[in-house]
Amino acid sequence: MFEVEVKVRADHDAVRDRLGEAGAERRGAVVQEDTYYDAPHRNFAETDEALRIRRERAPDADGAEADSRVTYKGPLVEAASKTREEFETGVEDGETMAAVFDGLGFDPAATVRKERERYALDGYAITLDAVDGLGEFVEVETETDEEGVERAREGAYDLLERLGLDPDAQIRTSYLGLLPE
């Protein structure tokens, strides 16, 4: 499965208004903490891969146990968007998964924390991300097979334009890559 994603910097207030006008369905808000790992056998920064544990909770769930997922993201597969092969699965306990990674020699590299508002429109997920240390972004994404990548990307561009955003301003770098070192 391929994740086709287009991300731009954007003011959330203006985008929320346009999402409402377009008839988008609000799917709620979450807080996500993504811990990215370095591999002992290769440099993910050089191979353009990522391995992370994502812990997700409702914004008002202080102290509540988070849902956890493990994700592997392969290298970007095209120059026109942030499209890559992705594999993700839920894990019962994120702390135990972190201990497994540690035992195998995977070191935590960085943590990215963001508050996300989720919307759905025309088969796309739209997220308004407030990323600690980076600011506000909008992501438009969908999943497809390899043959559908171009069509999915063009649909994401069209949706950005409907929201008053410029697809040419997209950022292909991950939030992890945008963080100051």
Closest CA to 113 of 37, 34, 6: 34
Q: At 99, give phi and psi (nearest 5°).
A: -65, -35
Q: What share of the chain is helix, strand, coil (3-state, %, to 5)?
A: 25, 45, 30
CB 124 within 8 A of CB 156: yes
User: Token digits for 7?
Assistant: 């991300």
CB 114 within 8 A of CB 129: yes
Question: What is the DSSP secondary-structure string of 103-124?
Answer: HTTPEEEEEEEEEEEEEEETTE
Does the active-site annotation cover 175? no
Distance CA(92)–CA(78), nearest Å, equals: 34
From 36, 37, 119, 175, active-site residue: 36
* Catalytic residue IDs: 36
